[in-house]
Amino acid sequence: MFAVIRVLGVAVVLVSSSVAALASDDSSGRGGYVVRSDRWTDEDERDYSAFILGVGRSGCNTVDACLKGSGNPFKDTDPPGAKFYSDCAQLPYVLRAYFAWKRGLPFAYESSVRARGASSDIRYSQSGNEVTARKDVLTGSTDGYKLLRALIPAISTATYRIHPTLERPKESDFYSPAIRVNSIRPGTVIYDPDGHVAVVYEVQRDGRIEYMDSHPDNMVTRGTYDLRFVRAPPAVGAGFKNWRPLRLVGYSRRGDGALEGGHVELASNSEIPDFSDDQFYGNSTRAGDGSWTSGTFTLNGEQLDYYDYVRAMMAGGTLEMHPVSELANMIQEKCTDLQDRVQAVDNAIAAGIQNRAEPSRLPRNIYGTSGDWETYSTPSRDARLKTAFKELRDNVVRFINMYRTGNRHLIYDGNDLVADMLATYDHETAQCTVTYKRSDGSPVTLPYEEVRKRLFRLSFDPYHCVERRWGASDPGELSTCPDGPEKKAWYAAEQNLRNQIDRTYDARMDFTLAELRTPGPGKGWGNPPDVDARSILLSMRGVRRASSVAETGSDGALPGGDPSMGSTSRPDLRGWHARREAEFSNWQQSHPRGELWDAPVAPKMVAVRAGSFLMGSPANELGRWPTEGPQHQVTIGRDFAVSAYPITFNEWDACVQDGGCNGYTPSDEHWGRGNMPVINVSWEDAEAYAAWLTNRSGHRYRLLSEAEYEYAERAGTATPYSTGQTISPNQANFFDTATMSQSAGPEGRQPMKVGSFPPNTFGLYDMQGNIWEWVQDCWNDSYQKVPSDGSAMARGDCQRRVVRGGGFNRERKFMRAASRYWIVGQLRSALAGFRVARELD
């Protein structure tokens, strides 16, 4: 790839040398758009990539500065008073149109899109959009500056939300490229269906993809492609996009060479050599739209995580991770992100937004709105920042785990990886500070680690004083903040929203202060995720590289290791296997009626008889949420089996050891493994476990449907709780203020070992409390049009998946049998695990 980049670097010089000639071709003399070529040639595309590379490398921090700076070879052709603006969605169009205008190339764009199905906001339509109108930019139809201004209202993130194979009624401006070198290149667009767009400006030798993006305040930031850009159902068109080839037809050529008239035609997917929808469905067995998450990515016979696959392909087919240098790069990138946030907050302060009264309600959605909130608030920026800090911490865990298990993809030739990473962490973070001016103008300098510690206290609300925007809690630092009681109350009420790292653009959030004070859908998380990478490094000191399977044990665990040490330390599965084999042998001799156990590595199952029940909660039930209605009769027509306990870390680690579960070892957050419920697994991870168990046992395992879960939890009861009219801390692990004030135990503070509380009358343990549990269903805001046979809802918002049971950190009302919630399916949450169902043959 670097050979390509070097060629592109030369192309920047060539483009620069031709600017004067191109400028003289402007027949209007006032920036008029003149088309001189009927198509973009391969050379034009290479030069466009060079143009993007130059802009990206220039370090410019606003769109205006990018097009006036050294990275733009055309800058001298623009008058001094020209102003350039773009939000994230318009940035790819502004850059493409600007280059096309300066080079005399044809350009056209989607001028109208509509949702495919009902949607209150086409930027977040569940079934994606379709193009209904296009506009061709022809010679004399406009001038370049007018075109750039016209793109601002015409283009939004809805423009990108198109199924990769949809070409009617009109073609999209983009196509889905193959994940390979030269297809993903400077100028490729990345679409995040949670409402963000970026432009690739460079691909590194090791496969890391660097991008730049813009924001409502015209700022330009940069980052490295990672899981901040989520995968999503094909209908919403997430991921990489290249500009669709086009040509001008039906034109006439003037005497000066300009092409007049005609219309633009776009190439179809079948005409584009590197069109591929593998990024949606995987590169092995083809899955349909309804089961896109089951698609896998295989390289050289090895199944990889999608993001690892992308990196490997962009490195020419080799996945190599250099933990020390990559840690340094990640910290430097976070430092740049923090400096960008300084500028964003300063812009809001300069505009005086903090001096205005707090509105009576939040916007309908804090992540996707308009006006001052969109321009000066930072919820999306902050959520992406928090995600990046969490990913840094997770990568530290991953690198250490790869090191101690001898993973061949980890490249490190030192003697003590943890020590080297800790030294690198301390060195790099010591170079990074953030300085802001308090309300009285006095400066406050915050070291990197201090900002990390107060990360979830940083206010995104532009109506708050600058001290709260930077998470001040010390009375001395806060002494200059002029916020009155109402703004203080808003800041406190917004804490759960600050704890949340996923951007729920389709959630209704226009709460009053009183409404926000009570937890519920759209109001954030009760606790923030762990982002403390340094503590991980400190806790893992002394870990050494495994030189062989004999040294590590067959499961990669260090012999004699304490399972409580380190968030990915695993129990010695050799001992666990021996105990399970003996227990399984005894079970085969005699076991309770209705209990099933297919293999020692499989979970024990309890048979549940078919039956009917009233699902949901009545309107007068205390603690009820509207999403629990309407109540409706459900009849489950077939017997099925349910795992007696949530799946444990032992059971998950056995899957990984056996080559299943995508080889992923989740963090235990220092709470312990063994018979603790497995956490930090996504909905897709849970599906992978069920698929492994199916292949291993010959019986069909799957996640429960939401209806099956409530049916099994109720166990024949019709009261608010399966335990009766209420539930006590002796019956489940949940947040109970009275108990926690009298005890320093784990109750309400962390998960507990499975089976710590009595089972329900079906013989199922922990159906309420301890952890949230993934079920099959897509999220829907109500039970309108749900199946009456207990099957899972496959329609709705399938980016969000239903979780049931209530977590250890939630209060009593979340333990009700009808209580339901959702988590983004790709999120690996420390609050969520799962159990499985089994079809009865």
Distance CA 718, CA 34 (A): 73
Distance CA 445, CA 678 (A): 40
Distance CA 657, CA 302 (A): 15
385's tokens: 């920042």
- Strand pairing class (772-779; 832-833): parallel
Please report where in the chains the tokens 């776009």 appear, as a residue: 266
Radius of gyration of the chain from its Cα atoms, rounded to whole angstroms: 28
Mean pLDDT value of segment 508-531:
86
Distance CA 175, CA 323 (A): 34
Q: Is 371 exposed, middle or buried (0-12, 13-18, 19+ CB in 10 A)?
A: exposed
Distance CA 742, CA 738 (A): 7
Nearest by Cα to 54 from 89, 19, 88, 79: 19
Mean pLDDT value of segment 81-96:
95
Q: Is 586 exposed, middle or buried (0-12, 13-18, 19+ CB in 10 A)?
A: exposed
pLDDT > 90? residue 359: yes
pLDDT > 70? residue 488: yes
Please report where in the chains the tokens 């449907």 appear, as a residue: 705
Q: 229 and 239 in contact (C-beta within 8 Å)? A: yes
Q: How far is CA 697 from CA 169, 273, 323, 583, in A?
A: 47, 43, 38, 18
699-748: per-residue pLDDT in tens?
999 999 999 999 999 999 999 999 999 999 999 999 876 665 555 567 77
Say what the pLDDT of residue 740 is: 53
Nearest by Cα to 687 from 820, 792, 766: 792
Percentage, residues of the chain above pLDDT 70: 92
pLDDT > 70? residue 560: no
Mean pLDDT value of segment 685-705:
95
Say what the pLDDT of residue 612 is: 97
Confidence of residue 551 (pLDDT cuts 50, 70, 90): very low
Angle, CA 440 vertex, CA 436 and CA 446 arms, to 5°: 25
Q: 818 and 627 in contact (C-beta within 8 Å)? A: no
Cα end-to-end distance, the chain, whole Å: 53
pLDDT > 80? residue 506: no
Q: How far is CA 175 from CA 124, 254, 581, 688, in A?
A: 20, 33, 53, 30
Q: 655 and 600 in contact (C-beta within 8 Å)? A: no
pLDDT > 60? residue 465: yes
Which sequence spans correspond to the domains of the chain? 2-292, 323-516, 568-839
The stretches of 206-322 forming alpha helices (DSSP H) are 278-281, 306-314
Distance CA 170, CA 177 (A): 19
Say what the pLDDT of residue 662 is: 84
Q: 352 and 496 in contact (C-beta within 8 Å)? A: no
Distance CA 267, CA 258 (A): 23
Q: 343 and 439 in contact (C-beta within 8 Å)? A: no
**pLDDT mean across residues, the chain:** 89
Beta strands (DSSP E) in 215-270 are 220-224, 239-243, 246-249, 252-253, 259-260, 263-266
Of 19-23, 171-175, 324-328, 343-347, minimum mean pLDDT range: 19-23
Look up the CATH architecture of domain 568-839: Alpha-Beta Complex (3.90)
Distance CA 757, CA 291 (A): 36
Strand (E) or helix (H) holding 334: helix 323-350
402's tokens: 């790869």
Say what the pLDDT of residue 575 is: 83
84's tokens: 């350039």
Beta strands (DSSP E) in 289-335 are 297-299, 302-304
A 10 A CB-CB count for 585 gives: 10
Nearest by Cα to 545 from 417, 396, 394: 417
SS3 755: coil
Say what the pLDDT of residue 524 is: 85
Nearest by Cα to 608 from 686, 716, 687: 716
Nearest by Cα to 101 from 67, 59, 64: 67
Nearest by Cα to 814 from 755, 726, 689, 746: 726
Q: Number of C-alpha atoms within 13 angstroms, CB side, residue 14?
A: 14
Distance CA 282, CA 69 (A): 40
Distance CA 625, CA 819 (A): 8
129-169: per-residue pLDDT in tens?
999 999 999 999 999 999 999 999 999 999 999 999 999 99
Residue 190 phi, psi (nearest 5): -120, 125
Nearest by Cα to 524 from 474, 460, 472, 450: 460
218-260: per-residue pLDDT in tens?
889 898 998 888 898 999 999 999 999 999 999 999 999 999 9
- Exposure string over 419-438, b if 16+ CB within 10 A, otherwise e: ebbbebbeebbeebebebeb
Of 64-73, 428-437, 540-549, minimum mean pLDDT range: 540-549
595-613: per-residue pLDDT in tens?
999 999 999 999 999 999 9
Give one DSSP letter per residue of 800-838, joined into a string. EEEEES--TTS-GGGGSTT-EEEEETT---TTEE--EEE
pLDDT > 70? residue 15: no
Contacts of 374 (CB under 8 A, 6+ apart): 216
724's tokens: 């009766």
295-314: per-residue pLDDT in tens?
889 998 888 889 999 999 99
